[in-house]
Structure 1
Amino acid sequence: MRTHEFRHRAARTFFINPKCDMAIAVNHPLLLHALQQAALDGSVRSIHQQAGPEIDCPRVSLAGVVLDRADGSFLLGVHEIRPERSAEEAARLDFVLKRHGLRLLERDGTDIRQEPLFSNARLAWSFARYHVPITDRLRIALALEDGGPQSVLELEERARPTCDTLAAVCALACQDLVGINISRDPLGPRTIVFAR
């Protein structure tokens, strides 16, 4: 065979999280960042990928990532720059999505890279594979159960974990075992941690 007959396949990344029923194929860094942020969002109950259907009039694909949130199911649209639509196109799109029980949640590069959300999510996910010993997991869980939501500093004083408290909290948040707010202030000793 000639070399031009071989198709180059881009390396795929998969996003895996307890909120996902299966691994989600990620073909763009912005989508990965959006999924990481959604996984840390307490209002997002589950994340899944759906295959379709494709609708011709108006031309709409319902394939993609769906976020099931407390306020409904949203087809996630991630773009570097948000597409412009006329009022009529937007209304038709909204109508088709509603008929399938969905709403559109579009996020562009500016939304996703908004600070401190962007840096906080990246920091939290940098600790996703951080090993939190089972004794520290139990200490943190008991401290949150007894004391309610508290700062990382207070949690460190109450739970007295043997590992890095902020790293442990971030790892547990990525596993959906604790909650943290990543949209307001930079992650640090004053970040409030709450039980899931």
Structure 2
Amino acid sequence: MDSNHPHLRAAPAFFTSPKCKVAIPVHHFLTRDALAQASLDHSVRAIGYRKAPDLYDRQERLDGIVLNRIDGDFLLSVCRTRPQRSDWELAHLSGVLESNGLRLLERDAVDIRREPLFSNARAVWSHERYHVSVNDRLKIAAALAEDGPQSILELEENARPSNDILAAVCALACEDLVELSIYEAPLGPRTIVCSR
């Protein structure tokens, strides 16, 4: 997190999800939201934490959050606004990161709060603790295996779970057991659900 942004509100201390190798220290709500979104992103395979590369003379502090994506490992930098960097600074930063096997993924407040992903990710994670019975888990898994990706409404028809299907698929998404299409439209009955 950029230390030049003390006005960012503090967040609870750690973020965890099945994709997290360890509990990730979180100092600000923007970082928590970025991690919640990353945990629901099918291209992110794992979320790790390690000491950020030493950038020597830079004023900026980078957290050591590493996203292992299908296209490589990225150091996640979350800030309210993207820092202005000279060509030399960009080259230096890229060189330091590359020597550590990383590339930079910068996300600022505008990017993180872009709709509908921002509201959708928060809505999904609001169901993190929703209890999905073993029977409903099996019904949902069987319906997805038999009929492939389908809307939440279709899944409710095909699986006939005993509980709230929207809450159930959100909880399963938090467990990284299903994938939800939450990038293009608000979360609802027409949201597509896929097996992981």
- TM-score w.r.t. structure 2 length? 0.91
Counterpart code for 1:23? A
CA contact 1:73–1:102 (8 Å) conserved in 2: yes
Q: Which amino acid aligns with 2:133?
A: P
Q: Structure 1 residue 181 and structure 2 residue 175: aligned?
A: no
Q: How does 1:35-50 map to 2 (within 5 A)?
A: 35-50=35-50
One-letter amino acid of the counterpart of residue 80, structure 1: R
Kindly tell me: are residues 79 and 181 of structure 1, through their superposed partners in 2, closer, same or farther at Cα, counting changes over 3 Å? same
- Shift of residue 76, structure 1, vs aligned partner: 0.2
Q: Judge conservation of contact 1:181–1:192 (CA < 8 Å) in 2.
A: yes
Contact 1:24–1:48 under 8 Å retained in 2 = yes
Show structure 1 runs of 5+ residues with no match.
1-9
How big is each residue's C-alpha offset from its partner over 1:8-43, in whole Å with a ceiling of 9 and x where there is no partner? Answer: xx8842111000111111110000000000000000
Report the Cα distance in structure 2 between the residues aligned to 1:60 and 1:27, rounded to whole angstroms. 15
Question: 2:175 is aligned with what amino acid?
Answer: Q
How much has 1:62 moved relative to structure 2? 6.4
- For residues 121-179 of structure 1, the C-alpha deviation after alignment (integer angstroms, 9 at most, x for no partner) is 00000001011111000000000001000000000000000000011000000100000
Point out 4+ residue stretches in structure 1 off by more than 4 angstroms: 57-63
The alignment-based identity, stated in percent, is 59
Aligned length: 187
Distance 2:62 2:187 in 1: 35
Q: How do 1:41-190 and structure 2 match up within 5 A?
A: 41-56=41-56, 63-190=63-190
C-alpha contact 1:15 1:24 (8 A) present in aligned 2: yes
* Cα RMSD for the two superposed structures: 1.6
| Alpha-carbon distance between aligned partners in 1 of 2:188 and 2:171, rounded to the nearest angstrom | 14
1:35 & 1:70 partners in 2: Cα distance?
Answer: 17
Q: What is the letter of the counterpart of residue 77 of structure 1? A: S
State how 1:14-29 maps to structure 2 within 5 Å: 14-29=14-29
Larger radius of gyration: 1
Q: Secondary structure of the residue that 1:54 maps to in structure 2?
A: coil
1:91 Cα offset (Å): 1.3
Query: Which residue type is aligned with residue 43 of structure 1?
Result: S
How much does 1:55 deviate?
A: 3.8
Cα distance between partner residues in 2 of 1:92 and 1:144: 47
Alpha-carbon contact 2:13-2:25 (below 8 Å) kept: yes
The Cα offsets for residues 100-138 of structure 1, whole Å up to 9 and x where unpaired, read as 110000000000000001000000000010111110000
Q: Which runs of 5 or more structure 2 residues have no equivalent in the other structure?
A: 1-9
